[in-house]
């Protein structure tokens, strides 16, 4: 890849990883419009690492507090709201781990098509609109409980289907369960840390096994651009939804789905 391609693809990954608009739907557009080839495993590792570093940096205080409380709860047996949140995040990660290991090959074989991505982009966009419209309760992330955490975790596992959007699926489920918009987004972002870390480890293993030639300059640029884009995205997303809700992202998803349908039928 040349420098322009690296920057564009890293920007797409960084901006769409945490927005409820599906990064996979966006990453196929350059290939469709410009005829770009697949970026390869090494670049996937780079941009995912950049996004992971961004969410860890943005929520560094919360994550440190949660980790400290979690380790303390193991030693002392005493639970705080931070330690409970940590356990709920761990529980919510389990469905994605199970589905990821058991169905990864099946999903990649049968669901990585523009038709599936177009359908899921539209369907889950409408579900996000409905969940946002019906949201009433306004719980915060410390009131989730293990049952709600497990349901949100199942939604995260469903997001392994391309076009669904991990953040979109988890935020939709959280809104349906009564969390406020901001709490739904924060819980979704915190959930992304163990999943993204696990995915980065697995993709890195695949990369080492593949013997692929690594362009370290391109990877370094990809990490930096993805990190900056993701950090800015998280910051402004939390501000936007507190004022405007999910409607802008629903409209965008429907428009994107229509564009993808255009590639299919035209």
Range of the domain at 180: 3-265
| Cβ neighbours, 10 Å, residue 209 | 9
Dihedral (Cα; 239, 48, 115, 165), 10-degree rounding: -30
Please check the confidence at residue 129 and state whether its pLDDT lies above 80: yes
For the record, the structure tokens of 164 come out as: 């669904």
Residue matched to tokens 């930096």: 224
Gap between the Cα atoms of 178 and 167, Å rounded? 16
Mean pLDDT of 85-113: 88
The more confidently predicted of residues 40 and 250 is: 250
The more confidently predicted of residues 12 and 42 is: 12
Mean pLDDT of the residues in the chain: 89
Q: Are 31 and 45 in contact (CB under 8 A)?
A: no
Query: What digits encode the pLDDT tens for the residues 21-80?
Result: 987 778 777 766 677 776 666 777 788 889 999 999 999 999 999 999 999 999 999 999
The answer to whether the pTM exceeds 0.85 is: yes
Helices vs. strands in the chain: H and E counts, helices first:
12, 0
Dihedral (Cα; 111, 200, 156, 184), 10-degree rounding: -140
Gap between the Cα atoms of 254 and 122, Å rounded? 5
Name the domain count of the chain.
1
Query: Under 8 Å CB-to-CB from 249, ≥6 apart: which residues?
Result: 19, 20, 21, 125, 128, 168
């Amino acid at each position: 890849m040349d420098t322009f391609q690296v920057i564009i693809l890293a920007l797409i990954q960084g901006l769409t990883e945490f927005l409820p608009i599906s990064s996979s739907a966006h990453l196929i557009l350059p290939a469709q419009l410009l005829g770009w080839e697949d970026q390869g495993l090494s670049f996937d590792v780079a941009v995912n690492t950049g996004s992971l570093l961004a969410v860890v940096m943005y929520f560094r205080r919360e994550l440190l507090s949660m980790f400290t409380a979690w380790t303390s709860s193991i030693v002392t047996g005493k639970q705080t709201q931070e330690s409970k949140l940590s356990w709920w995040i761990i529980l919510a990660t389990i469905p994605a781990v199970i589905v990821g290991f058991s169905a990864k090959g099946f999903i990649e074989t049968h669901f990585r098509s523009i038709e599936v991505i177009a359908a899921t982009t539209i369907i889950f966009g409408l579900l996000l609109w409905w969940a946002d419209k019906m949201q009433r309760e306004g719980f915060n992330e410390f009131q989730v409980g293990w049952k709600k955490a497990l349901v949100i975790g199942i939604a995260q596992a469903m997001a392994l289907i391309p076009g669904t959007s991990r953040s979109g699926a988890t935020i939709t489920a959280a809104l349906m369960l009564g969390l406020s918009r901001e709490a739904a987004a924060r819980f979704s972002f915190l959930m992304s840390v163990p999943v993204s870390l696990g995915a980065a480890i697995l993709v890195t293993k695949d990369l080492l096994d593949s013997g692929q030639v690594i362009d370290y300059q391109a990877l370094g640029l990809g990490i930096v651009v993805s990190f900056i884009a993701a950090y800015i995205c998280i910051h402004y997303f939390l501000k936007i939804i507190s004022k405007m809700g999910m409607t802008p992202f629903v409209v965008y998803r429907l428009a994107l789905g229509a564009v993808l349908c255009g590639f299919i039928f035209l």
